[in-house]
Amino acid sequence: MSLPPELKKIIEVTRSHNRWRRFECVNLIASENVMSPLAEAAYFTDMMHRYAEGKPGRRYYQGNIYTDEIELLVMELMSKLLKVTYVEPRAISGTVANAVVFRVLANPGDKALIAPVQAGAHVSHTKFGTLGALGIEHIELPFDLDRWNVDVDKAVKLIEEVKPKFVTLGASVYLFPHPTKEIAEAAHAVGAKVVHDVAHVLGLIAGGKWPNPIHEGADVATSSTHKTFPGPQGGVIFTNSEEMYKQVSRYVFPWFVSNHHLHRLPATAVTAVEMMYFGEQYADQIVRNSKAFAEALAAEGFKVLAEHLGYTKSHTIVVDVRPQGGGAKIAKLLEDANIIVNKNLLPWDPPDAVRDPSGIRLGTQEMTRFGMKEEDFKIVARFIREVAIDGRDPQDVKKKVIEFRRNFLEVKYGFDIPRDLENSLIKIPMLL
């Protein structure tokens, strides 16, 4: 029988999305990436239908002979890649990973210190998100705007005064490494723990371009697995503390996760291996591209933040677009031109400016994965200028963006599906 109209509509919308975002856009969302063909094939397997409550070898469901093996492989590979002792891969997102760790370390009514919201703290770190949902009080660390970082001297004094249960470092606008060593020393002196959220920079850590906070004194790190680490959407927690690992594992299930979306595990394992082979080259190119992109945007007339510090040491760039009409306006105009960014609060914005903040945030990790180099990002900067400064019709720029994107359709720094494996994996082709 022919497809009913409802299914035709579903397929039409899905096909439109795939074509638009995967082949016609320049995606600069700092929190997104794409998997390799092999990781995508490993993602679309029968494991997406299955349940595995508990830990390998101690499940509450039968039928997990191979899912147990894959989960142990993920733990082994991620441990080797990140040079840590313990990895907990069952959190289904970075936010869930944060929730687990926050609840391990504090009870409702306890205090936690976090990076300021306007300076890039993820919403899950705050009273507006996961921390607030758990009833933990958030107190913001002092921030040095000139250094675009936590003010160490003032933070140490605040830690000594508040004596929090834990301090959270890391951010969703993460331009420069936070001072993990100094903060950890102060926190440990008052019996507090340090949680470092590395969701945005996990791939840079794996590639040796960003410090691993566990090696600098953090007690535990949380992350997603789909930003600079180009795997499937999911979460991970890692530590060198056996006690911390055991507590985290007890809280993941049954408190925060029942089944942990098993089909992401083979894809995560594939991505971990890819990062072992290509991670250093990939991370290096991401950072090179970010630097070149920031310099190009500044040369085109934009106010790129942290110029005196070299703009960024990560995949992320932040631009103050108040002269061009603000973050909401510019993000929408760029979307109309097939350039995808997000509006973003800047340190001087009030929290209620979240719907129309001063800035936009841009990331280089996905387009780097599609093969863009420094000179290519200079072309993207020119497209952005044409829309945001020159006032060109976004539809005219869109045509040039689509033509430009045709040069970058193949995923790099990863593995294709070997011919001898094509029939042993369930491969679901994209609807095009």
The CATH number of residue 96's host domain is 3.40.640.10
Helix (H) or strand (E) holding 162: helix 152-162
Q: Evaluate whether residue 197 is within a structural domain.
A: yes
pLDDT tens, residue by residue, 115-139: 887 677 887 887 888 888 999 999 9
Is residue 125 within 8 Å of residue 198, measured between CB atoms? no
Residue 119 is predicted with a pLDDT of: 73
Using DSSP's 3-state secondary structure scheme, residue 302 falls into: coil
Residues 269, 304 within the same domain: no
Q: Which residues partner with 86 through β-bridges? A: 239
Q: What is the domain extent for residue 103?
A: 40-273
Is residue 191 within 8 Å of residue 110, measured between CB atoms? no
Residue with tokens 């331009």: 175
Q: Evaluate whether residue 388 is within a structural domain.
A: yes
Residues 255, 294 within the same domain: no
Helix (H) or strand (E) holding 366: helix 365-369
Q: Evaluate whether residue 193 is within a structural domain.
A: yes
Residues 116, 253 within the same domain: yes
Closest CA to 141 of 112, 166, 113: 113
Q: Evaluate whether residue 178 is within a structural domain.
A: yes
- Buried b / exposed e over 269-295, threshold 16 CB at 10 Å, is bbbbbbbeebbeebbebbbbbbbbbbb
Q: Evaluate whether residue 62 is within a structural domain.
A: yes
Residues 68, 53 within the same domain: yes
Helix and strand numbers (H, E) in the chain are 14, 17
Residues 228, 212 within the same domain: yes
Determine how many CB atoms are found less than 10 A away from the CB of residue 383.
22
* pTM of this structure: 0.95
Q: Evaluate whether residue 261 is within a structural domain.
A: yes
Strand extents, DSSP E, 310-369: 316-320, 339-340, 342-344, 359-363
pLDDT tens, residue by residue, 338-364: 999 999 999 889 878 889 999 999 999
Q: Evaluate whether residue 14 is within a structural domain.
A: no
Residue 115 is predicted with a pLDDT of: 87
Domain closes at, from 213, 239, 273: 273
State how far Cα 128 lies from the chain centre: 19
Residues 302, 219 within the same domain: no
Residues 112, 232 within the same domain: yes
Q: Evaluate whether residue 5 is within a structural domain.
A: no
Residue with tokens 């834990």: 166
Q: Give alpha helix (H) positions in 222-336.
A: 242-251, 264-299, 327-336
Residues 269, 360 within the same domain: no
HEC states along 172-205? CCCCCCCCHHHHHHHHHHCCCEEEEECCCCHHHH
Residue 408 is predicted with a pLDDT of: 98
The CATH number of residue 322's host domain is 3.90.1150.10
Domain closes at, from 273, 288, 323: 273
Residues 248, 142 within the same domain: yes
Contacts of 130 (CB under 8 A, 6+ apart): 95, 98, 99, 102, 123, 124
Digit-by-digit pLDDT tens for the chain (432 residues) are 888 989 999 999 999 999 999 999 999 999 999 999 999 999 999 999 999 999 999 999 999 999 999 999 999 999 999 999 999 999 999 999 999 999 999 999 999 999 887 677 887 887 888 888 999 999 999 999 899 999 999 999 999 999 999 999 999 999 999 999 999 999 999 999 999 999 999 999 999 999 999 999 999 999 999 999 999 999 999 999 999 999 999 999 999 999 999 999 999 999 999 999 999 999 999 999 999 999 999 999 999 999 999 999 999 999 999 999 999 999 999 999 999 999 999 988 987 888 999 999 999 999 999 999 999 999 999 999 999 999 999 999 999 999 999 999 999 999 988 876 666 665 555 555
Residue 426 is predicted with a pLDDT of: 55
Helix (H) or strand (E) holding 113: strand 111-114
Q: What is the DSSP string of 9-28?
A: HHHHHHHHHHHIIIII-EE-
Is residue 399 within 8 Å of residue 338, measured between CB atoms? no
Residues 118, 257 within the same domain: yes
Residues 234, 300 within the same domain: no
The residue count for the chain:
432
Is residue 194 within 8 Å of residue 217, measured between CB atoms? yes
Residues 308, 229 within the same domain: no
Residue 12, judged by CB atoms within 10 A of its CB (0-12, 13-18, 19+), counts as: exposed
Is residue 30 within 8 Å of residue 363, measured between CB atoms? yes
Total count of domains within the chain:
2
Question: What φ, ψ does residue 208 adopt, rounded to 5°?
Answer: 75, 20
Structure tokens at 261: 């979306």
